Structure 1
Amino acid sequence: MRCARPTRTLLALSVAGLLLGAAGCTSHDDAPTVAQLARSSADSVDVVAQQDPSARSVAASRALFASAPGAVVASASDAGAVRDAASAARAAHVPLLLTSDGGTPSSTPSADAGDDGDRVAAELRRLGADWYQAEGSVAVDTDVPEQDAPERGDVPEASDASRAATVVVSDRRSEAAAVATAEAAGARVVAMPDGVTDPAAAPDVVSALHDRAEHPTVLVGSAFGDLPDPQWTVRAAESGWQLPHGGQRPFDGHRYVALYGAPGAPVLGVLGEQDPAATVRRAEGTAKEYDGLGDEPVTPAMEVIATVAAGDAGADGDYSTELPASTLEPYVDAASDAGMPVILDLQPGRSDFLSQAKRYESLLAKPNVWLALDPEWRLTADQVPLQQIGSVSASEVNEVSSWLADLVRSKGLPPKAFVLHQFRLSMIQDRSSLASHPELDVLIHVDGQGSQPDKQATWKALHQDAPEGVHWGWKNFYDEDTPMLSPQQTMADVQPTPSLITYQ
């Protein structure tokens, strides 16, 4: 497997001074971020994700009704009865409760019902119900009498607190009882798209939660039981920030074409060949060449080198030139105005990735700013750039990903991409031990240069025994690839198709 160091990056040794003075601007540290502007509802998110439909119907009732004069009961297995019961529950402004079968529910206490025995009977008691209406063949072991629901005008409406809720259902058809209960309570109901289980990947859900950020949220559906942190998911959605093609999850249905380089340094990549506004236009033009070449929409992006491996130790002795955040801000701001994500790339020399990442916390606190680690330039205390190809341990990568995930979660930010550059297996040691976080989408960016057979061999080698769930990126070099692939060739020849394609 052959891949040399990128020639443009080697020239970093002679341009450190240029970079330090490039593209300065006034700091925006005092500007409010999306997370600061968004209201948190972390204490008002209920998850109704029990596997049993009867248990879910009772949990939805508990989440939406403090009390009710009655309820409508139907068997979960009788679709016709559930439809009739849903209409009756909406008309009477009361919950719809399901039994697990068509007969009398078991009177044996369950985990959902506790010591009260049957969950439906227990819920009728909790509601303070004076009656229940049965649809289809059901029977409830309760002292509450069975009768038809009163006319609508005779029934008080649900409480103001219940009416304020936003109810997200995984599927309207399978969650018909919860939908009826929510609409009976006056809640706003929004359904997930088919096949999507992560609210961050559902544009309409993100919009609804943003529009109703001051209201409590209820997530209904067994699929939501797999959400690691529902409260953060809802809080991030409430910020309202979305990718240009919708949703917040970076690599769920999205592809990016990015320009790579450092501000004011053309020798390090095409990003540095023009000012921020022109970089935006060039990135848009490059990405446009990929339109129609795949099933996923294409978004232009930037990958900006924030710390540059240096040929001398420097005042701090780490062989890395750390650009001030103020130098990077014009690119971040221009990209943000254009709806583009920005990836900050770290080349730490003898420093460590976490120390350098923390330097840019103010930028990483922005929703469109992501992070990349470049292990080629992570050196030990006795190494010097250009004399060795560096490497990083999985434990150090995990320290960075944990810190970044904590930042995302604590500030209510949308998920971020976490990019790991690699063109040799040795560059990320013990790669199988890389940690995963719901706040981050991990992408391995294969950034070798040279002949296409060599690049393809590297691509295939790095895919072997890769961690489950990672995404993949590919780099095209204008000068060093022999030849550089066209957009059509990149999409056809690089398989699986990369989620991130950068140009240097």
Structure 2
Amino acid sequence: MSARSPRLLALALVPVLALAACTPSDGPDAEEAATEPETATQSETATEPEVRQGEVHEPAEASTVLGGTSPAAVATSTSQSLFASAPVVVLAGEEDLAGQLRGASAAVALGAPLLLTGDDAGLAAEIGRLGAEWVLAVGAAELPAGGAGVAPDDGASGAGEDEDEDDAAGSASGGPVLVRAPQSDDALAEMLGMNAGGVTSADTGTEITHVAALEPGAFTPLTPGAAAEPATTGGEDTAADAAEAETSTGGTTGAGSESASPDSETGTLPPTEPAEALAGVAVLTSGEAAQVAAVATARSAGAQVEVVPGGDPRATSETVQAIAALEAEHVVALGDAFGDAEAVAWRTATAATGVELPGGGQLVFPGKRYVALYGTPSTTALGVLGEQDVPATVQRAAEHAAPYAELTQDTVVPAMEIIATVAAGQAGPDGNYSNELAVEDLRPLVEAAGEAGQYVVLDLQPGRASFVDQAAIYADLLALPHVGLALDPEWNLGPDEVHMVKIGSATSEEVNEVVDWLADFTRERNLPQKMLVLHQFQVRMIQEVSEVDLSRSELAVLVHADGQGGQPAKQGTWATLHANAPDIEWWGWKNFYDEDLPMLTPEQTMRVEPMPHFISYQ
């Protein structure tokens, strides 16, 4: 709880001072006189204003998304989610950003919800549910039609419970009292019973950040940047209204002042203090200015607020580490950008691990480009990964990636694509025309790459086996956060087919089996997003590519154009594959040392349109 204001402490000290001044030292009436200060003290104590406090509660579910078609709806639903009751609510206009910022400052200081006009029925119902007895209106905000007659719910401490009290809340109809916020920060601070901190200018785009930084029980006035309109008072002379607010109570509008009528629009508020903070509750916001009121309410309730641009807490190193530090038991996400409650739950659980991908954050893209060596450590015949030992391979991968760092503003991540199952000319003991390398043979290179901050993709050439069955063999390696998967349909055979007779292919159904398996695997283990690479140099290699499931955000699906030969032919294949899969967002390009005529330099590779996201060397 916040400390009681200095003015309230002063009120409490009055009886003590009276006692010191009135106690007699001697005389025949000393005994009788000695009882008088005690009576006076009791009388003074009886008139001390009651300090009001709202009641907060944890959300009903561990993960909640508060969507809505309007800022007013999100503000109301946030109040419903976090507050059980509130003696005071703050009200601002839905179209008045300046008023919302000012209202946020007052609401967090009071520990009160900030509601918005725009949904009369919802606003009136929420004021009633909260049992609010006072409404502090900022700017032009007005109670909904008939709002003055909104009575608190039964069981709430509402107006009219003790009509003999001088400070009984509520209008004659039993509803909340409308108190107009003065325009002066000092006057508003006095009304709130506290000192005003320095004024903070919230420039366009930073409003949520400033509101999220407000501390309950402290008044820090927020003012918008030049782009926002100032708060108004419904077309009246704002200076005159401010003066009226400051003078209507004989020079003070502070809580506990007895000279103002409680029915006056420039009247007083009761002494209040924030409720106990909601420990273990985190509120996520996408940072839109439309969420100012909702974020203010979250801070009023003592919830921690984290700004998550784009709505995915895995997106950046900053959001991942912030979520990990919160250790929240309940998460409330504001707005539709976060998806549904299930998505919020597993993405937040993933971010809470604090484990990051090479290059930062827990998403493969955007903001990163990968430069990879291709091959397998078992032989020099299939690429450069088999041409040197593990330390030299890690160093070579870093050296290949280095020139690209100067060619893009994105983070360049060194990588390796390791052929884990190698297409075979013979059926082999298992009859599947594929040789599966042992996990323990691959582990030294995979782990060394991870320690060096490099990404690894395990490539499958399944022959007559299924992609999913072969992927499962490497579950221990895929459980590492920096390891993804690649499917090579060229080497995917039908029941009666053999390699080198025809180019293999995969159906979208086969690909989607892997999508589901790998996405579930990733989610169940709270792993960062995984890259799923689909190799292709002919359109027919991935049948019905438009039906590949791109909806699982546990994965980043990338089509890798790995054709070889002359550059005009390669560029033609690149364009054709793009035209055939317009929904694919991430693309890979392969440079062949010996087969390309000529092999592109890093500068030439980065001039390919569109610029590749994954570049491999074989």
TM bucket (normalised to shorter chain) is 0.7 to 0.9
Residue from 309, 312, 317 that aligns with 1:198? 312
Q: Which residue of 1 aligns with 2:113?
A: 95
Higher relative contact order (CA 8 A, sep 6+): 1
Q: Which residue of 2 aligns with 1:302?
A: 416
Q: Which residue of 2 aligns with 1:464?
A: 579
Q: Which residue of 2 aligns with 1:281?
A: 395
- Quick check: 1:42–1:235 contact (8 Å CA) kept in 2? no
Q: CA deviation at 1:209?
A: 0.6
User: Matched residue pairs, number?
Assistant: 445
Q: Which residue of 1 aligns with 2:122?
A: 119
- Amino acid paired to 1:80: A
C-alpha spacing 1:305/1:119, structure 2 compared with 1 (3 Å): same
Structure 2 stretches lacking a partner, 5+ long: 1-58, 152-174, 180-190, 195-216, 218-270
Taking the aligned partners of 2:69 and 2:386, their CA distance within structure 1 comes to 54
1:131 aligns with 2:247: no
Q: Which residue of 2 aligns with 1:358?
A: 472
Q: Which residue of 1 aligns with 2:528?
A: 414
C-alpha spacing 1:213/1:328, structure 2 compared with 1 (3 Å): farther
C-alpha spacing 1:467/1:402, structure 2 compared with 1 (3 Å): farther
Q: Which residue of 2 aligns with 1:188?
A: 304
Q: CA deviation at 1:188?
A: 2.4
- Amino acid paired to 1:146: V
- Quick check: 2:558–2:584 contact (8 Å CA) kept in 1? no
- Quick check: 2:461–2:491 contact (8 Å CA) kept in 1? yes
- Quick check: 2:485–2:531 contact (8 Å CA) kept in 1? yes
- Quick check: 1:48–1:218 contact (8 Å CA) kept in 2? yes
- 3-state DSSP class of the match of 1:199? coil
User: Which shifted more, 41-50 or 372-381?
Assistant: 41-50
Q: Which residue of 1 aligns with 2:494?
A: 380
- 3-state DSSP class of the match of 1:217? strand
Taking the aligned partners of 1:352 and 1:270, their CA distance within structure 2 comes to 27
- 3-state DSSP class of the match of 2:135? strand
- Amino acid paired to 1:471: W
Q: Which residue of 2 aligns with 1:311?
A: 425
1:55 aligns with 2:86: no
Cα deviations by residue, 1:184-217 (Å, 9 ceiling, x for unpaired): 2222222234xx3433223322221111134422
C-alpha spacing 1:375/1:291, structure 2 compared with 1 (3 Å): same
User: Which shifted more, 406-415 or 298-307?
Assistant: 406-415
C-alpha spacing 1:443/1:365, structure 2 compared with 1 (3 Å): same
> Whose Rg is larger?
2
Cα deviations by residue, 1:61-101 (Å, 9 ceiling, x for unpaired): 2233343332111111122321221111011011111111x
User: Which shifted more, 373-382 or 66-75?
Assistant: 66-75
- Quick check: 1:134–1:146 contact (8 Å CA) kept in 2? no
- Quick check: 1:92–1:151 contact (8 Å CA) kept in 2? no
Q: CA deviation at 1:56?
A: 0.3
Taking the aligned partners of 1:277 and 1:67, their CA distance within structure 2 comes to 63
1:171 aligns with 2:287: yes
- Amino acid paired to 2:177: E
TM-score (norm 2): 0.69
Residue from 239, 248, 259 that aligns with 2:373? 259
Q: Which residue of 2 aligns with 1:157?
A: 274
User: 1:438-449, aligned counterparts within 5 Å?
Assistant: 438-449=553-564
Taking the aligned partners of 1:501 and 1:227, their CA distance within structure 2 comes to 36
Taking the aligned partners of 1:151 and 1:387, their CA distance within structure 2 comes to 86
C-alpha spacing 1:166/1:438, structure 2 compared with 1 (3 Å): same
User: Which shifted more, 418-427 or 242-251?
Assistant: 242-251
Q: Which residue of 1 aligns with 2:176?
A: 145
Q: Which residue of 2 aligns with 1:293?
A: 407
1:343 aligns with 2:457: yes
- Quick check: 1:209–1:237 contact (8 Å CA) kept in 2? yes
- Quick check: 2:488–2:535 contact (8 Å CA) kept in 1? yes
- Amino acid paired to 2:399: G
- Amino acid paired to 1:318: N
- Quick check: 2:373–2:417 contact (8 Å CA) kept in 1? yes
Q: Which residue of 2 aligns with 1:11?
A: none
- 3-state DSSP class of the match of 2:290? coil
- Amino acid paired to 1:503: Y
C-alpha spacing 1:372/1:220, structure 2 compared with 1 (3 Å): same
- Amino acid paired to 1:53: P
C-alpha spacing 1:120/1:79, structure 2 compared with 1 (3 Å): same
Q: CA deviation at 1:473?
A: 0.1
Taking the aligned partners of 2:276 and 2:521, their CA distance within structure 1 comes to 37
Residue from 443, 447, 456 that aligns with 1:333? 447
Residue from 61, 67, 83 that aligns with 2:101? 83
Taking the aligned partners of 1:214 and 1:77, their CA distance within structure 2 comes to 33
C-alpha spacing 1:330/1:42, structure 2 compared with 1 (3 Å): farther
Taking the aligned partners of 2:561 and 2:514, their CA distance within structure 1 comes to 20
Taking the aligned partners of 1:310 and 1:362, their CA distance within structure 2 comes to 24
Residue from 457, 466, 489 that aligns with 2:604? 489
Q: Which residue of 1 aligns with 2:87?
A: 69
Taking the aligned partners of 1:166 and 1:490, their CA distance within structure 2 comes to 44
Q: CA deviation at 1:431?
A: 1.3
- Taking only the aligned residue pairs, the percentage that are identical comes to 48
Taking the aligned partners of 1:227 and 1:452, their CA distance within structure 2 comes to 48
Q: CA deviation at 1:302?
A: 1.0
- 3-state DSSP class of the match of 1:464? helix
- Quick check: 2:357–2:528 contact (8 Å CA) kept in 1? no
- Quick check: 1:431–1:467 contact (8 Å CA) kept in 2? no
C-alpha spacing 1:327/1:96, structure 2 compared with 1 (3 Å): same
Taking the aligned partners of 1:419 and 1:302, their CA distance within structure 2 comes to 12
Q: CA deviation at 1:267?
A: 1.4
- Quick check: 1:434–1:467 contact (8 Å CA) kept in 2? no
- Amino acid paired to 1:170: S
- 3-state DSSP class of the match of 1:259? strand
- 3-state DSSP class of the match of 2:520? helix
Taking the aligned partners of 1:64 and 1:267, their CA distance within structure 2 comes to 63
Cα deviations by residue, 1:259-302 (Å, 9 ceiling, x for unpaired): 11112312111112222222221111110011121232211111
Taking the aligned partners of 1:345 and 1:197, their CA distance within structure 2 comes to 31
C-alpha spacing 1:302/1:234, structure 2 compared with 1 (3 Å): same
- Quick check: 1:253–1:297 contact (8 Å CA) kept in 2? yes
- 3-state DSSP class of the match of 2:606? helix
- 3-state DSSP class of the match of 1:300? strand
Cα deviations by residue, 1:144-168 (Å, 9 ceiling, x for unpaired): 41255764674343344x2432222
TM-score (norm 1): 0.83
Taking the aligned partners of 2:342 and 2:534, their CA distance within structure 1 comes to 23
Q: Which residue of 1 aligns with 2:505?
A: 391
User: Which shifted more, 124-133 or 300-309?
Assistant: 124-133
